[in-house]
Amino acid sequence: MKTILTVTLNPTVDKSTSIDKLVPEKKLRCEQPKFEPGGGGVNVSRGLSRLGLNSRAFFPSGGRTGRLLQELLEKERISAVPIEVKGETRENFIVVETGTNQQFRFGMPGSGISIEEQDAIMKALLELSPFPDFVIVSGSLPPGIDPSFLGQMVRQLKVKGARIVADTSGEALERMVEEGVFLLKPNLGELAKLVGKESLDNDSADEAAQELIQQGKTELIVVSLGPQGAYLVTKDITEHVPAPTVKKLSTVGAGDSMVAGMVSVLARDGSYSEMVRMGVACGSAATMNSGTQLFKKEDAYRLFEFLSRNSQSF
């Protein structure tokens, strides 16, 4: 079994609640809030745990919210590797309007990370033992960290033999791809930007993905198509996996759940076709739950079996 590390440079505690209706300038009575650990890589570690795989969650942690984040991960039996910083770990706030099932998501930027703290983060990362086989770098960057930091991180992680999974956006994603990663999970818009196009559709995505593969920027690309599923592209394989039809309650954490599903198969040496089906299954299963609950294991495996049985007919 391969060892897995998730890296979340801008972790969060997700605070969620519900109300009957969101009305301006009125005191609104909310349900008791729920607190959950969050941020891209943290959620991937939580998803992997649901699938029976251990991983280490590496993240900067500061203040009261940082301590709460560590406590929440401990309750979920996630192995945490917090790196202490001065700034307060951020909170996100999610409100569900029960009358319409509309979801309102308020994302905070996080505290700044100093150059000295960045150096400490990089040092701690590279000194991990045992060193991970897979490193998933996921989520946004906090204030103070330049996207070039991720390029430097990828470069040094690869020297130590890690396979990098990239799931971020904007210039941060571009810097990671410049250094070359193992697995890339963009949406169509992100993929278009990486190849210098204004836009792509489903038909042109294959050509764009192959361009990055031929340039040595990545070995695998899984293009996230939202409700249309995902498109797997390697040097030798192209495969579309449509998303199963489910009752959607929330899209929070669906992308992170998809990454967790894919990495769970890679860590067990499964095929790339199994990898993308499990990714779509976990991402779809996450949308079946409200708030920030990610997916239920039984839903993910049921959808994976459905996709596997019907793969020949798609």
The answer to whether position 225 is within a domain reads no
Residue 80 maps to which CATH number? 3.40.1190.20
In the set 14, 167, 256, 299, the catalytic residue is 256
Pick the residue with more confidence: 203 or 294? 294
Asked if the structure places residue 51 within a domain, the reply is yes
pLDDT value at 23 more than 60: yes
Total count of domains within the chain: 1
Count of residues making up the chain: 314
Q: Is residue 185 part of a domain?
A: no
Q: Quote the pLDDT of residue 314.
A: 41
- What's residue 291's pLDDT? 66
- For residue 117, tell me if it sits in a domain: yes
* Residue 196 lies inside a defined structural domain of this protein: no
29 versus 4: the higher-pLDDT residue is 4
306: pLDDT confidence band, cut at 50, 70 and 90?
very high
Domain annotation covers residue 247: no
Rounded mean pLDDT, 96-109: 86
**Does a structural domain hold residue 116?**
yes
- Checking if the pLDDT of 225 tops 50, the result is yes
Supply the range of the domain harboring residue 137: 1-22+29-145
Q: What is the per-residue pLDDT for 313?
A: 41
Is residue 127 classed exposed, middle or buried when 0-12, 13-18 and 19+ CB atoms within 10 A define those classes? exposed
110 confidence band (pLDDT: 50, 70, 90): confident
| pTM to 2 decimal places | 0.93
Q: Over the stretch 38-55, which tens digit does the pLDDT of each residue have?
A: 999 999 999 999 999 999
Find the mean pLDDT for residues 14-20.
91
In a domain, 111, yes or no: yes
Mean pLDDT, residues 179-199 taken together: 94
pLDDT per residue over 136-146, tens digit each? 999 999 999 99
> Percent of the chain at pLDDT above 90?
78
Q: What is the mean pLDDT of the chain?
A: 93
What mean pLDDT is predicted for residues 219-223? 96
Q: Closest Cα partner for 59 from 34, 35, 79?
A: 79
Residue 256 designated active-site: yes
